[in-house]
């Protein structure tokens, strides 16, 4: 059987057919295809903060991208441009913490990397242009930024991608303090691009969107760790 990989979903207004602006649990098909092409079976997980029992049936977890995390989760007040989804925050932190307790393989993508950081006691920058002085990580609505990321020698990410790689990113928040996680990749401006926990079976957060190119190196590593 292919490893079952849970993928967290968005809840956003969506329209199809005769239906318009219905609250809908969804995720870009790119995530599903990335898991499938790497040899796994994607299982979509809508926000549910009652328990994390679904992890008993899963072999791995992808924490997907999306809206900003609530800053109260890391002891900060919201800034004007922070756009949150409290239903996702509660449900996904529950899943992330339970996955860490079980040592379940986890890949965090963009918001997912930030979620892992907060779960590990870290903090975020709420609006990167205020910190970095540029908007290259989210150059325009719906337009991915592209730049290189450099990776630490001996890290898991370097073992998968080499010393550096060109990445596609779309975010206006970023990691300020990684908590107990290890920063193993950075953008040219110094922003953390990857976090890891070498003591775990597979825990990797990336600040970019590898699903866009169906990156078999990252999703394949998750599947391999999950027993694929």
Among 201, 205, 203, 206, CA closest to 227: 201
Contact by Cβ (8 Å): 110, 170:
yes
Burial of 109-144, coded b for 16+ CB within 10 Å and e otherwise, reads: bbbbbbbbbbbbebbbbbbbeeebeeebbbeeeeee
Catalytic residue among 59, 125, 171, 209: 209
List, in sequence order, every beta strand (DSSP E) within 54-213. 60-63, 106-109, 123-125, 145-151, 164-169, 174-177, 182-186, 192-196, 203-206
Catalytic residue among 92, 110, 169, 171: 110
Question: Any catalytic annotation for residue 169?
Answer: no
Contact by Cβ (8 Å): 97, 51:
no
Name the token pair of 197: 């926990």
Question: Any catalytic annotation for residue 110?
Answer: yes
Other CB atoms within a 10 A radius of the CB of residue 198 amount to: 11
Question: Any catalytic annotation for residue 193?
Answer: no
List, in sequence order, every beta strand (DSSP E) within 28-180. 41-45, 60-63, 106-109, 123-125, 145-151, 164-169, 174-177
Please list the active-site residues.
110, 209, 211
């Amino acid at each position: 059987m292919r490893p079952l990989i849970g993928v967290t979903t968005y809840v956003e207004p969506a329209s199809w057919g005769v239906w318009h602006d219905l609250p809908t649990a969804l995720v870009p098909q790119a995530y599903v295809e990335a898991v499938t092409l790497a040899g796994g079976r994607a299982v979509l997980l809508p926000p549910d903060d009652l328990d994390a029992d679904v992890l008993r049936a899963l072999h791995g977890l992808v924490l997907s991208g999306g809206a900003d995390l609530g800053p109260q989760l890391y002891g900060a007040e919201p800034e004007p441009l922070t756009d949150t989804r409290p239903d996702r925050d509660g449900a996904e932190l529950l899943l992330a913490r339970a996955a860490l307790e079980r040592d379940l393989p986890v890949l965090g993508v963009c918001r997912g990397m930030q979620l892992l950081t907060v779960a590990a006691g870290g903090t975020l920058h709420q609006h990167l242009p205020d910190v970095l002085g540029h908007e290259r990580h989210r150059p325009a609505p719906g337009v991915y930024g592209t730049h290189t990321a450099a990776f630490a020698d001996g890290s898991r990410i370097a073992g998968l991608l080499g010393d550096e790689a060109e990445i596609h990113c779309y975010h206006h928040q970023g990691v300020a303090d990684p908590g107990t996680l290890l920063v193993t990749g950075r953008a040219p401006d110094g922003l953390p691009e990857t976090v890891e926990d070498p003591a775990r079976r597979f825990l990797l957060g990336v600040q970019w969107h590898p699903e866009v190119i169906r990156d078999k190196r990252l999703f394949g590593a998750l599947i391999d760790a999950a027993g694929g």
